[in-house]
């Protein structure tokens, strides 16, 4: 087993995502119907018809992205005979994608994943008043240098590395004034580019503690099983399978750094040579090329992608 299934995070959403899958495949329709039922609303209407700003709302984007990812997984199982336990060494996801990975591997039901991500998205949005927090991308600095920039910029406020995406791309998160300082310090310290991001809240930093508390409560009431294959946890960059540890790490992930570079490097170091990105977009596929030398990344999110995957396997 030299493959891993990986699942995208927020920012990969686009109006229309998953629609062609639903039209082409009954297993995909079943996933979208289950998500709509779990949330008591037609999230699929927003996913397929927009408006884009409604889909981008964190409380909608998170369950929507999970729905597309798990729909792809179910289609691959039905159409291409994929068995995650047999065909994948690991699963992993970027931020909310960790929930998609766990749902795909059977650790929780689609209904529970949708409800958890609705709570997570809503709690992350409410944790910090709009305009108080911010995030910025620092390009051309590795994690250690970016963390030093964040520490210098904090000046008594919150500023920390939120995402270590690999290829010299680190995102910092925290109080808006501190993040603005980080952009200027990063430029002075040789970053190729440093820019504020259009986000609705400062994710993956200490300001998200109220959301972490909400997730601890919600996850504590959720039935979590041992996943079919280990999930490489964002906050550890190590594989975990124990349900109690899964809860602990998902709670930590709300305020902790998404160590994506290390997650991908760990999987590559364990012999993974093929990464399949299941769901919307191909952000992770692009990042993987910069992290894991010689590994191939293949995004699967449309009926054509499914057909190409099947053709390769036959």
Active site residue 95: yes
- C-alpha 221: how far from its chain's center? 22
Tokens of 3: 């493959």
Among residues 12, 69, 94, 95, the one annotated as catalytic is 95
Q: How far apart are CA 252 and CA 22, in angstroms?
A: 34
The SS3 call for residue 148 is: helix
Q: How far apart are CA 241 and CA 225, in angstroms?
A: 9
For the chain, how many residues are written?
Answer: 314
Tokens of 121: 């998205």
Active site residue 94: no
Residue 18 DSSP code? T
Short-list 292, 301, 310, 306, CA closest to 4: 292
Among residues 69, 100, 147, 204, the one annotated as catalytic is 204
The full DSSP string for 78-122 is HHH---HHHH-SEEEESTTHHHHHHHHTTSS-HHHHHHHHHHHHH
Q: How far apart are CA 283 and CA 12, in angstroms?
A: 7
Catalytic residues: 95, 204
């Amino acid at each position: 087993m030299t493959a891993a299934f990986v699942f995208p995070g927020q920012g990969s959403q686009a109006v229309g995502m998953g629609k062609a899958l639903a039209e082409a495949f009954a297993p995909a329709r079943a996933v979208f119907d289950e998500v709509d039922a779990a949330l008591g609303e037609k999230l699929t209407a927003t996913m397929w018809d927009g408006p884009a700003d409604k889909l981008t709302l964190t409380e909608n984007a998170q369950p929507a992205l999970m729905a597309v990812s798990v729909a792809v997984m179910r289609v691959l199982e039905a159409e291409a005979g994929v068995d995650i336990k047999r065909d994948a060494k690991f699963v992993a996801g970027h931020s909310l994608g960790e929930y998609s990975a766990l749902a795909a591997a059977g650790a929780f039901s689609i209904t529970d994943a949708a409800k958890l991500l609705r709570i997570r998205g809503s709690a992350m949005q409410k944790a910090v008043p709009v305009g108080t927090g911010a995030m910025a991308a620092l390009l051309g600095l590795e994690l250690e240098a970016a963390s030093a920039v964040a520490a210098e910029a904090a000046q008594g406020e919150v500023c920390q590395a939120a995402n270590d995406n690999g290829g010299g791309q680190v995102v910092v998160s925290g109080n808006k004034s501190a993040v603005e300082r980080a952009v200027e310090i990063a430029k002075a310290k040789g970053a190729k580019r440093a820019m504020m991001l259009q986000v609705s809240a400062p994710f993956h930093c200490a300001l998200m503690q109220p959301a972490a508390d909400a997730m601890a409560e919600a996850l504590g009431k959720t039935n979590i099983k041992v996943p079919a294959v280990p999930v490489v946890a964002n906050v550890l960059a190590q594989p975990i399978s124990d349900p109690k540890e899964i809860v602990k790490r998902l709670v930590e992930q709300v305020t902790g750094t998404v160590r994506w570079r290390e997650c991908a490097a760990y999987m590559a170091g364990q012999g993974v040579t093929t990464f399949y990105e299941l769901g919307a977009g191909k952000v992770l596929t692009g990042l993987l090329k910069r992290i894991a030398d010689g590994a191939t990344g293949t995004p699967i999110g449309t009926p054509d992608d499914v057909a190409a995957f099947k053709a390769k396997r036959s």
